[in-house]
A and B are shown apart, each in its own frame.
Chain A
Amino acid sequence: MRNWMRVFSIGLALILILSPTTLAQQPVELQFWTPFTGPDGAYMERMVNQFNEEHKGEIEVELFIIAGGADYITKLALAIRTGAPPGVVILSPNDYIRFLNNLTSWTSDELLDTYGLDVADFSQNVIESVTRDGRVYAIPLGTYCLGLYYNIDHLVEAGLEPRAPQTREEFLEYARKLTVDRDGDGTIDQWGWYSFGGWPFRVLWQWYTLLFQNGGSLLSSDGKRAAFNSPEGVSALEFFVDLIHKEKVAPRDPADPEEAFRVGMLSMHVNGPWMINLFKEQPDLNWAVAPVPVLGESRVVWGDAHLMCIPKQSEKTTEAAMTLVKWLSDNSIEWAKAGQVPVRNSIVNSDEFAALTEQYEFSKQLPYVRFLPQTERLAEIESVLLEYMDAAYLGDMSPADALEEVAYEVDDILSRR
């Protein structure tokens, strides 16, 4: 009797606990992985909160901010392998190709008819980079490229016109005039330009830019061999190395230029749009940003993108993931405020975007942004490049020798299965 009562009461309690959840529709839970560990993470968090607010009861997105690089990619591969992938994941064009077989893809008609996403409204070179055999494998969120930040006060003090240099000659003239010993103690305390030190990849990006401007390319057209150990590549690296050792407009030892520009020890600085908000926060820093000058023969700038990818998963989560992706794309003006360039023409051409002065300067370069060739081996190639570039910058190795060494290793990397 007593036992029977117990079973009955437990059963009743269970029904009471479970009933509200079975009656009401459970919201779809979605993991959203991003590598936005910088200040941009806060902007994305605000956007996700807004999305959750607007989709209460239907979709609940949980934002994950994971440090980018090898660990991020490994985590994703493991998640896919174990059958528990995130709903949406942000990847770069060079990482997403590792996962092509595991990503949801669409034809442009499907995107338009089912989701109302018009491929024609996207920046052409960006959408091309994610299209393979007529299928779109990712929805680009935003793009970024390099820009030239300059300290207006320094330019005025040096008697220069307060605008960014446009050509190689002008850039050199500016750099020389802006390298000064302000307090007269015999050591230089304001540098014209430098970029060697701190975040390592910036050194590569500026070299890619000049390599492309010179008409060179990173890999051969079939992607099987190194092509950067060409006169175009060598002279590009020589230019930056000479700024240190011949022109002496940059310090000999590596030092972080981001910090130096912020505190007024550096007059010109090449970096991406994510620095905008950081420099804005600095009081007394009178600065502006402009497209990178033509240091080579033509106007090209290295660029990259943030892609929203949806790993293959159940139909219900895929639908919810697509709702998030479309919402983020439609609202990417909010993302632009974090210091990014949207890839939707309708947004780039809006007055609201034009009001973001600095971001707008970056977007002027959209027509000639160039992406790297897509290869799964890029992480390896870049690590070899960085190693030897260091040696060249330090003057331990000539640029030609350094690139020859890298090419040898890169050919080896590319020849592997």
Chain B
Amino acid sequence: MGATKKKRRDLTALFFLLPYMVFFVVFILIPLIHGLILSFQEWSLLSDPIFVGLDNYIELLGVRRFKAAVQNTLMFALQSVPLLLVVPLLLALLLNKTFVGQKLAQNAIISPFLIPSSSVLLLWIWMLDSQTGMINQAFKALGLPGQAWLSRQGSAMGVIVFVTLWWTAGFNIILYLSSLQDLPQEFYEAAAVDGANRWQQFWYITLPLLRNRMLFITTLQVIGSFKLFDQVYILTGGGPAGSTRTLAFYLYETGFRDFMFGRAAAVSWYMFLMIALFGILQARFLNRWLGEGV
């Protein structure tokens, strides 16, 4: 009796999963396999693909732009992940308090991540323009020299990090806020009774309880930074002097501008390996280190 019932329940589940499974197979699984085959081929879209074995993977290791793209991507991750971990936390702590205009501040700070990338980025291009942009106008009014924000090797990546922070912090703030609102109040009451000050309460109670959330955000953020594309495509086009060319952007150039689809596929598998490597490291070390939490 139990077996037939279970069987029927499984079939029902399968039925409800079917729409997703169809999409998964057509848009993820098949392209994934095709992409793997492609990475062992040379294919210019117009000609027929030629099997070249591991050539694409080996050649890439000697390409300076690829190596620079790996470096730039790691640099971006190194700058943006800690910022996107800490700044949203501070803002969430602030927004978790009640004060006049709290709702307004909450909406203003969180909403940018709901705006599509092109709108956000075109807005920033306009604000960052070296001659007519609002930011340089403000600089001039303060007697400071204007900057060519997106044209300098020193500042372009920094600007991308900043814009990314402004644009995407809201999502992480929501994640933090939901955790903060779930924290058990008894801990704080007990701590207050024991004479712990606010800083101690934060350090010994809030932060440890947020560990899992922070781990989750770190993972999301690392994956996100490996995929960095829109900001580069719209703000800098990979320049100046290639200093903002990320892996995703290099992949796009290789495939869609230079028609080397096999090599582009190989780039994507290198990207996959790097993300997977991080995932394994995290499972091994971070998980053990950040054990408990909400």
Contact = CB atoms under 8 A, between A and B. Distances in A.
B46 A396 contact: no
Interface in B226-253: 237-242, 253
B153 interface: yes
29 contacts: A70-B257, A71-B256, A73-B257, A73-B259, A74-B45, A77-B46, A78-B45, A81-B45, A197-B131, A251-B131, A253-B131, A254-B148, A255-B131, A256-B131, A377-B258, A379-B257, A379-B258, A387-B238, A387-B239, A387-B240, A387-B241, A390-B241, A391-B153, A396-B241, A397-B241, A405-B241, A408-B64, A409-B65, A412-B63
Interface in A348-392: 377, 379-380, 383, 386-388, 390-391
Contacts of B237: 383
Interface of B is mostly: loop
Given A380-B258, A412-B63, A394 B46 contact: no
List 5 tightest A-B contacts by C-beta distance, closest first. A70-B257, A253-B130, A255-B131, A77-B45, A253-B148
A306 B9 CA distance: 64
B158 interface: no
Given A102-B46, A412-B64, A394 B152 contact: yes
Interface string B115-154: 0000000000000001100000000000000111001110
Interface-centre pick from A71, A101, A197, A387 (highest chain B CB count, 10 A): A387
A81 B257 contact: no
B256 A70 contact: yes
B259 A98 contact: yes
Interface string B244-276: 000000000100111100000000000000000
A388 B240 CA distance: 7
Contact of A98 (B42, B46, B241): B46
Given A253-B131, A412-B64, A391 B240 contact: yes
Contacts of B65: 409
A396 B131 CA distance: 19
A255 B59 CA distance: 39
Contacts of A386: 239
B146 A253 contact: yes
B67 to A, nearest CB: 12
Contacts of A73: 257, 259
Given A74-B45, A251-B131, A390-B241, 12 more contacts: A70-B253, A70-B257, A98-B46, A98-B259, A101-B46, A253-B131, A255-B130, A380-B253, A383-B238, A390-B151, A394-B152, A394-B240
A99 interface: yes
Given A70-B256, A253-B146, A380-B257, A388 B241 contact: yes
A400 interface: no
Interface residues of B, number: 26
A80 interface: yes
A80 B258 contact: no
A105 B257 CA distance: 25
Query: Contact size class for A?
Result: 35 or more
Interface string B58-87: 010001110000000000000000000000
A278 B240 CA distance: 30
Nearest to B255: A74
A417 interface: yes
A155 to B, nearest CB: 24
A109 to B, nearest CB: 29
A417 B237 CA distance: 25
Contact of B151 (A102, A251, A254): A254
B257 A396 contact: no
B60 to A, nearest CB: 11
Contacts, number: 77
Interface in A88-123: 98-99, 101-102
Nearest to A390: B240
A175 B239 CA distance: 29
B239 A390 contact: yes
B70 to A, nearest CB: 16
A35 to B, nearest CB: 15
A417 B239 CA distance: 25
B206 to A, nearest CB: 45
Given A254-B130, A255-B131, A387 B242 contact: yes
Contacts of A416: 59
A396 B259 contact: no
Interface in A48-80: 70-71, 73-74, 77-78, 80
Contacts of A251: 131
B64 A396 contact: no
Interface string A298-322: 0000000000000000000000000
A87 B91 CA distance: 57
A161 B240 CA distance: 40
Nearest to A102: B46
A81 B258 CA distance: 16
Contacts of B59: 416
A197 B131 CA distance: 10
Contacts of B63: 412
A278 to B, nearest CB: 18
Nearest to B254: A380
Contacts of A71: 256
A154 B221 CA distance: 55
A385 to B, nearest CB: 11
A394 B153 CA distance: 10
Contacts of B239: 386-387, 390
Interface in B41-62: 42, 45-46, 59
Contacts of A70: 253, 256-257
Nearest to B240: A390
B253 A383 contact: yes
Contacts of A254: 130, 148, 151
Contacts of B241: 387-388, 390-391, 396-397, 405
Interface in B138-182: 146-148, 151-153
A396 B146 CA distance: 17
Nearest to B150: A254
A377 B257 CA distance: 9
A71 B45 CA distance: 13
A79 to B, nearest CB: 11
Interface-centre pick from B42, B240, B253 (highest chain A CB count, 10 A): B240
Interface-centre pick from A99, A254, A377, A397 (highest chain B CB count, 10 A): A254
